[in-house]
Amino acid sequence: MTITLESSCEMHPQVALRPEPFGALAYHYGNRRLVFLRHPDIVRVVRNMSSHTTLRDALTAEGVDESRWPSFVQALSSLTTSEIIRVR
Amino acid sequence: MSAERLVDQMKMGLDAPICLTWELTYACNLECVHCLSSSGQRDPHELTTEQAKTVLDELRDLQVFYINIGGGEPMVRRDFFEIIEHAINNGIGVKFSTNGAFIDKKNAERLAALDYLDIQISLDGTDAATNDAVRGQGSYDTAIRAMNNLRDAGFGQFKISVVVTRHNVDQLDQFKELADSYGAQLRITRLRPAGRGADTWHELHPTNAQQRQIYNWLLAHGENVLTGDSFFHLNALGEESLPGLNLCGAGRVVCLIDPLGDVYACPFVIHDEFKAGTVLADGGFTKVWRESDLFTELREPQSAGACASCGAFDACQGGCMAAKFFTGLPLDGPDPECVGGDGEILLASVPVALTPRPSLDHSKPPKQKVHA
């Protein structure tokens, strides 16, 4: 599923994050998918996205530079495939 | 961050393992000729229920998402359900390997009621003759009965786990059909010369031509078949890589806790040389994982040795450390099943008497002949 800056997203309730030097491991207890989140910034966005109305708000609040937003939207869209995050 | 850099990061090790195998007991009702852990008889020093629970609490704190439980036959332990329920209740998913002997109707229903539980039924042939030649008489029927019980109990998708040998490699399509008929997932893994497998590997491991057959089969079916990334040495066969992480994870993302609580670099190297420590010492598993000399060493850049000049090294990474070790080959050289044939040539020069023996052997004593 493609998400946009206006999407309201959340980490799937069955997902756990484990911090690692490169970012974090995300594990979905439901579908057993293990996914690497390869940057600390994306980890923070995933962790906190549910407390913001839109993805745009989440990226702003986490201090992600606007020039990086397209790559974040792309990376987060791919995380919907494994259901690590979902639109709420 | 690029994919390559992620692999480099993983080579340096993670804060906790991704893939932790825990063999609960050396006791087993079977005596498979390729058993990685030379199982058969229980060891009197196996972890108690309380010790096992303490380890699980530690794994919970490390956020180990799931553990792979094996043996021996793990269901032999009377506290089997107590242990797996403790794991699951602490957010540690359980995947366990079994020969199915204890999955009767009642236990199948009990297993079906648990969340975060995956089951792998071991099966090494799609007919009794092929399977039982390796796993013992009656073991095919036992596995099929267990699979029927799981299906009837509504367990959902279990896995059929196959060790690929010279004798069942032609059955890969039939294994897939069998798995599909149960709504199960097929998992195929590489035969390792570990445990009793060290004695039978030379007769059982796929030929070089069969290795290409496995590679091509996985390229065609790999998306729906699990492999535990165990065939990465086959990547040297072609341009296209098999799915999965192309690296030896021993001590980096993988390790083994044996029934005594000893920690080894991977499930295929139960030998003193690859023992990193014990969960029973001060600092527990965490200290072994993060600070042991062995694991620190395995996370340092490894020498490509004799493989350095080979164009395929990036693809195969020199193969499997355990396979080299137990066939007497140097660790910084080709895998015994090197698809380029380099391992085979080296093997010919290794005197059998000089190959390392597994440190532990829990095989049952040979059966006494009954004289009338």
Burial of A25 (0-12, 13-18, 19+ CB in 10 A): buried
Facing residue for B14 by CB, picked from A20, A27, A39: A20
CB proximity B16 to A under 8 Å: yes
Report, as ranges of residue numbers, the positions in chain A whose pLDDT lies below 70.
Answer: none
Q: Which of A19, A20, A27 sits opposite B65 (nearest CB)?
A: A27
Query: Higher model confidence: residue B112 or residue B314?
Result: B112
* Contact state of A38 with B1 under an 8 Å Cβ cutoff: yes
Judged by a CB distance cut-off of 8 A, whether residue B306 touches chain A is no
Q: Which of B15, B65, B115, B289 should one mutate to test binding to chain A, selecting the residue with the greatest count of A CBs within 10 A?
A: B65
Confidence of residue B371 (pLDDT cuts 50, 70, 90): low
pTM exceeding 0.90: yes
Which A residues in the span 34-63 are in contact with B, Cβ-Cβ below 8 Å? Answer: 34, 36, 38-39
Integer Cα distance of B16 and B322 in angstroms: 21
Handedness of CA B142, B147, B151, B156 (dihedral sign): positive
Instruction: Examine the pLDDT at B208 and tell me if it is beyond 80.
Output: yes
Which one, of B27, B112, B36, B131, lies nearest residue B72 by Cα?
B27
Q: Kindly state the average pLDDT of the residues B59-70.
A: 97
Q: What is the pLDDT confidence band of residue B4, given thresholds at 50, 70 and 90?
A: low
B10 neighbors B334 (Cβ within 8 angstroms):
no
Mean pLDDT of chain B: 93
Q: Look up residue B213 and give its two tokens.
A: 């057959």
Beta-bridge partner residues of B24 = none
* Mutate: best of A15, A20, A39, partner B, most B CBs <10 A: A20
What is the torsion angle, in degrees rounded to the nearest 10, for the CA atoms of residue B207, residue B210, residue B211 and residue B212?
140
Residue partners of B6: CB distance under 8 A and separation at least 6: A22, A36, A38
Q: Give the up-direction half-sphere exposure of residue B45: CA atoms within 13 A in the CB hemisphere.
A: 8
Residue matched to tokens 């998913």? B93
pLDDT tens digits, one per residue of B137-189: 999 999 999 999 999 999 999 999 999 999 999 999 999 999 999 999 999 99
CA distances from residue B316 to B33, B232, B295, B330 in whole angstroms, order as listed: 28, 6, 21, 16
Confirm or reject contact between B114 and chain A (CB < 8 A): no
Residue B372 has pLDDT above 80, yes or no: no
Report the distance separating Cα B263 and Cα B283, nearest Å.
13
Contact between A29 and B116 using a beta-carbon 8 Å cutoff? yes
Q: How many Cβ pairs within 8 Å bridge chains A and B?
A: 39
| Residue in the structure block whose two tokens are 């380029």 | B340
Look at residues B338, B317, B35, B26 and name the one whose alpha carbon lies nearest to residue B192: B35
- What is d(CA B128, CA B141) in angstroms, rounded to the nearest whole number? 7
Radius of gyration of chain A (CA): 12
| Residues B323-365: tens digit of each pLDDT | 999 999 999 999 999 999 889 889 988 887 778 888 899 999 8
Residue type, B203: E
What's the confidence (pLDDT) of residue B156?
Answer: 96
Token pair for A24: 């974090």
Residues of B in contact with A38 (CB under 8 A): 1, 6
State whether B6 and A19 contact (CB < 8 Å).
no
| Residue of B20, B63, B96 for testing the chain A interface, max A β-carbons within 10 Å | B63
**B309, amino acid identity:** S
B1 pLDDT more than 50: no
φ, ψ of residue B89 to 5 degrees: the values are -65, -15
Q: How far is residue B100 from each of residues A34, B31, B104, B186, measured CA to CA in Å?
A: 27, 14, 8, 16
Name every chain A residue with its beta carbon within 8 A of the beta carbon of B157: none
- B1 contact residues in A (CB cutoff 8 A): 22-23, 38-39
Do the chains contact at B65 and A29, CB–CB below 8 Å? yes
Which residues on B lie below 8 Å from A21 (Cβ)? Answer: 9, 12, 14-15
